Amino acid sequence: MISKNDLLKLDHQDLKISSSSINTYRTGLRTYLSIQLRLFGIGDRISIPHFISIGKLTKEKRRLLGFTPTIASMVKKYINKTDLLSFPQNATRSDNSFKNRQHSAVISAANQRAVLKSSTSKSFAIKIESLGENLRKFIKDYQEQNKHLENPTIVSHVNEIRRFLGYIHYIKNENKLDSEGNLIILEQDFTDIITAENFEGFSDYMRSRNNAITITVVKVLQTMYSLIDTDIPWVSRYVNPICSKNPKIRSIAHRNGRKGLINDLQEQFYETGQNIYKDRHSDLINSQEDIFNTLTSEETDTYAYHARIGYLNKIKSKLKKIIQKYKKESNQKGMTRNPFLPIMPLLELDRPLYPIHLALKKSAADIHKLIKLSPTRKIAQVIRNHIFIRLISFWPLRLSHWLKMTYLTDQSGHISLTDKGDLLLRIPIDEFKNSESEEFKKMGIKGNTIDFTFSYAKIGSLIDLIKIYINVYLLLLKNQAGVFFYSCSSSLNNGCKAWQSTYLHPTCDELGIARPLLFGPHSFRHICVTDMLKRGETIDMAASLLLDLPQTVRSRYSAFLPSDGLQTAIQKLISYQIDMDEE
């Protein structure tokens, strides 16, 4: 076992987290160990069964103990790293963490393992990082075949596939542990994974964690459905119901294969009139034995094809019903599924951007004082957050654009300073997720990039701050080479929410309006468009700002309704906000 002190020595690289998060993780570990010590008298190491026992408590009891989902997630990171799922032979009798180890062993989602049910009620453990050859190739193939998708989209889909494959479940068959208590990794055909029982099992587990079916569950199921519904050969390579470990699946597969082959022979006879097909059709119909081993090579391929298609169609039908059921359940939550809910207090204002710009004035005043101090990483983060909020309120690009935003000394990055001292944002066309759509092409955008120049005459103070940020503070953030703002989406969301907590919420309190919930960068698109529409701008203008369709804007923002294109839309936003700054 690894002691508490050794666990605390693990750094961000060991845990595969950002360097800025390591202190938070260590605090989370100490919090968990104090809970474990208080309940079970073990505080010098992580006890897996006790960790499981705490997780089984009701949500209210876990809350009172301080065992939050965040703390649980942090502890799982340590478990994942330290190989604590191995149960040593020399465990002391007094250490109850090893009592009944076969029945208490659990596979963690952080460890990306899954237990999958077969018809024999035995469980098959699959560890994603040590997957069988089929499943390893499947993940790789999926990424290769979907290169056309936007990078955040494909990453999201892969994570959803992994989430399904790696959901937590209990090992019900103790024979699946070796003599030392280690989990045995078994090969399993993809056929036995995409079953209605496993989809229901995943949903039930997620419900038990959140006391409800969340939109995340629905997204995972929808992604799995899109895999099954994909009518391309690479998916079929991983599904072979004839070889399933489940006799019921095999029986259905053979029935579908036999029926499909016989129907094909009959159709071929009708089309060609050749008796060879009629005779073969009669032989197979009258045969009382298993015909699979009597087929020719060509017939075997046809048989397997129909067996596969029949199985996939049946699973698709069942999964579609499951998705409809859970989608309906998640939609019954009403406003909790409303993307405008976190920012509704702002959207209800006549000027939704007004509190944000008052808060930006406050953060600008604080930064004016901070830059007089010795540069630190914390000050660099405050300046970065301010610049980001200011720019996204001018041009509300999607999260993926801000993550890709680069600054390079040769002026070839997304963000650069011109010879005149202006700020230039240059976004490649192919980085817009709808760039291939006909409607996007009809916008008449010329060239391979969309460029916008922020004039020094209008936002000189911000450009001066950006120069200081580049020359003094950017290196302190230790971003990946060229990254101007944030290296990952979690860092971006955290920075956005940190600014809100520090500046926007106090500003709302001063204005006497309700605080919005902490929201992510995508919500700035809603806020900016709603502000434009409430000021009497056209739907076409709002659509130009978002580089989206007017009908999309009309359907989403019709509740807030009381052109010149993208360039004018941004210019109007800038002018409007500068006017507010002068008030």
**Higher pLDDT among residues 325 and 364, named by residue:** 364
CB-based contacts of 269: which residues, under 8 Å, 6+ apart? 275, 277, 278, 281
Q: Are residues 446 and 545 in the same domain?
A: yes
The average confidence (pLDDT) of the chain is 75
- The residue out of 103, 132, 157 marking a domain boundary is 103
Do residues 393 and 577 make contact, with C-beta atoms less than 8 angstroms apart? yes
Q: Are residues 221 and 316 in the same domain?
A: yes
**Higher pLDDT among residues 120 and 155, named by residue:** 155
Gyration radius of the chain's alpha carbons: 29
**Higher pLDDT among residues 282 and 142, named by residue:** 282
- Which H or E element spans position 38? helix 22-40
Closest CA to 552 of 393, 439, 433, 431: 439
CB-based contacts of 149: which residues, under 8 Å, 6+ apart? 157
Query: Could you tell me how far CA 159 lies from the centroid of its own chain?
Result: 6
Q: Are residues 48 and 154 in the same domain?
A: no
Q: Are residues 170 and 54 in the same domain?
A: no
Q: How many H-runs (helices) and E-runs (strands) does the chain carry?
A: 27, 5
| 303 within domain boundaries | yes
Q: Which two tokens stand for residue 364?
A: 């600008």
Please tell me the predicted confidence (pLDDT) of residue 107. Answer: 32
Closest CA to 484 of 390, 414, 382, 394: 414
Looking at the 3D structure of the chain, how many domains does it have? 3
Could you tell me which residues are beta bridge partners of residue 450? 427
Q: Which two tokens stand for residue 512?
A: 């006497």
- Which H or E element spans position 127? strand 123-127
Q: How far is residue 17's CA from residue 25's CA, in Å, rounded to a whole number?
A: 9
Beta strands in 90-156 (DSSP E): 113-117, 123-127
CA atoms within 13 A on the CB side of 399: 19
Mind listing the pLDDT tens digit for each residue in 34-59?
Answer: 888 888 778 888 877 788 888 878 88
Q: How far is residue 514's CA from residue 528's CA, in Å, rounded to a whole number?
A: 19
Mind listing the pLDDT tens digit for each residue in 263-318?
Answer: 888 888 888 888 888 888 888 887 766 777 778 888 888 888 888 888 888 888 88
For tokens 């596969």, what's the residue? 308
CATH number for the domain spanning 523: value is: 1.10.443.10
| 290 within domain boundaries | yes
pLDDT at 105 over 50: no
Q: Are residues 81 and 115 in the same domain?
A: no
| 189 within domain boundaries | yes
- The residue out of 37, 71, 103 marking a domain boundary is 103
Q: What is the mean pLDDT of residues 351-367?
A: 94
pLDDT at 333 over 50: no
- The residue out of 332, 361, 378 marking a domain boundary is 332
CB-based contacts of 516: which residues, under 8 Å, 6+ apart? 342, 343, 344, 345, 346, 500, 504, 508
Cα–Cα separations (whole angstroms), residue 150 to 396, 433, 435, 554: 18, 6, 10, 25
Confidence of residue 466 (pLDDT cuts 50, 70, 90): very high
Q: Are residues 291 and 440 in the same domain?
A: no
Beta strands in 436-508 (DSSP E): 449-454
pLDDT at 561 over 50: yes
Q: Are residues 49 and 112 in the same domain?
A: no
**Higher pLDDT among residues 296 and 564, named by residue:** 296
Q: Are residues 325 and 389 in the same domain?
A: no
pLDDT at 156 over 80: no
Beta strands in 264-329 (DSSP E): none
Do residues 52 and 106 make contact, with C-beta atoms less than 8 angstroms apart? yes
| 338 within domain boundaries | no
Mind listing the pLDDT tens digit for each residue in 380-419?
Answer: 999 999 999 999 999 888 888 888 788 888 878 889 998 8
Is this prediction's pTM over 0.75?
Answer: no
Q: How far is residue 347's CA from residue 340's CA, in Å, rounded to a whole number?
A: 8
| 399 within domain boundaries | yes
| 419 within domain boundaries | yes
Please tell me the predicted confidence (pLDDT) of residue 76. Answer: 82
| 342 within domain boundaries | no
Secondary structure of 552-569 as H, E, C letters: HHHHHHHHHCCCCCHHHH
Cβ-based burial of 241 (10 A; exposed 0-12, middle 13-18, buried ≥19): buried
| 214 within domain boundaries | yes
Cα–Cα separations (whole angstroms), residue 429 to 148, 241, 401: 14, 44, 11
**Higher pLDDT among residues 124 and 74, named by residue:** 74
Residue 53's CB is within 10 A of a number of other CB atoms, namely 16
Q: Are residues 265 and 406 in the same domain?
A: no
Q: Are residues 165 and 275 in the same domain?
A: yes
For tokens 């994909």, what's the residue? 230
For tokens 């240059």, what's the residue? 426
Q: Are residues 23 and 35 in the same domain?
A: yes
Confidence of residue 74 (pLDDT cuts 50, 70, 90): confident
Please tell me the predicted confidence (pLDDT) of residue 524. Answer: 92
Using a CB cutoff of 8 Å and minimum separation of 24, what contacts does 53-60 make?
Answer: 59/211
Q: Which two tokens stand for residue 235?
A: 């998916």
Mind listing the pLDDT tens digit for each residue in 216-238?
Answer: 788 888 888 887 776 556 566 67
Q: How far is residue 558's CA from residue 309's CA, in Å, rounded to a whole number?
A: 44
- Residue 334, Ramachandran bin (φ over 0: left; ψ between -120 and 50: alpha; else beta): left
Do residues 50 and 42 make contact, with C-beta atoms less than 8 angstroms apart? yes
Cβ-based burial of 369 (10 A; exposed 0-12, middle 13-18, buried ≥19): exposed
Q: Which two tokens stand for residue 144?
A: 């290769």
Residue 145, domain extent: 105-332
Q: Are residues 127 and 12 in the same domain?
A: no
